[in-house]
């Protein structure tokens, strides 16, 4: 049912936990299944230096959160804005159709974090 990548990110999630020095935080929840995802980013000079997450949800929600944090690190804000749920699914080698909403939740949470960053730094430069 799940790919080896999904199982790996669920059983060995990367970048778990709150980030004290985050300058961007996004949260989103799914009415479909009750999953709640929160992502923390540290953006410096327009580039994501660090990313972490806290997720309450199923294995697919945890796996999508984990892979998302790996996907955004080292990317510019413009590159991160282009990340879609399909990119998350591709990095995981696929998700069962009933779990695609987890990847959508990851995309929404990422966008919320970027919106938070822009609110905190009106110039968008992070300086």
Tokens 């009750």 belong to 34
Q: Is residue 16 included in any domain, yes or no?
A: yes
Residue 67 lies in a domain: yes
* Number of domain units in the chain: 1
Give residue 127's pLDDT. 45
Specify the CATH number for the domain of residue 103. Answer: 3.90.1010.10
Task: Encode pLDDT of 61-81 as tens digits.
Answer: 999 999 999 999 999 999 999
Residue 96 CB partners (closer than 8 Å, separation 6+)? 1, 2, 60
| DSSP code per residue over 100-126 | HHHHHHHHHHHHHHHHHHHHHSTTSS-
Let me know if residue 125 belongs to a domain.
no
- Full residue range of the structural domain in which residue 91 is found: 4-120
Q: What predicted TM-score, i.e. pTM, was given to this entire model?
A: 0.92
* Catalytic annotation, residues: 33, 102
Q: Comparing C-alpha atoms, which of 55, 59, 62 is closest to residue 37?
A: 55
85: helix, strand or coil: helix
Tens-place pLDDT, residues 20-62: 999 999 999 977 778 999 999 999 999 999 999 999 999 999 9
Say yes or no to pLDDT of 122 above 80.
no
The model's confidence at residue 106, banded by pLDDT at 50, 70 and 90, is: very high
């Amino acid at each position: 049912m799940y790919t080896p990548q999904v199982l790996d990110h669920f059983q060995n999630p990367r970048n778990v936990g709150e980030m004290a020095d985050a300058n961007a935080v996004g949260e989103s929840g799914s009415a479909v299944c009750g999953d709640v995802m929160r992502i923390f980013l540290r953006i410096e000079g327009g580039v994501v230096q660090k990313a972490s997450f806290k997720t309450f949800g199923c294995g697919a929600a945890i796996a999508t959160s984990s892979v998302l944090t790996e996907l955004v690190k080292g990317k510019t804000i413009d590159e991160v804005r282009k990340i879609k749920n399909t990119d998350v699914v591709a990095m995981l080698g696929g998700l069962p159709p009933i779990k695609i909403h987890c990847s959508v939740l990851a995309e929404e949470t990422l966008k919320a974090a970027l919106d938070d960053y822009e609110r905190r730094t009106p110039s968008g430069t992070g300086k």
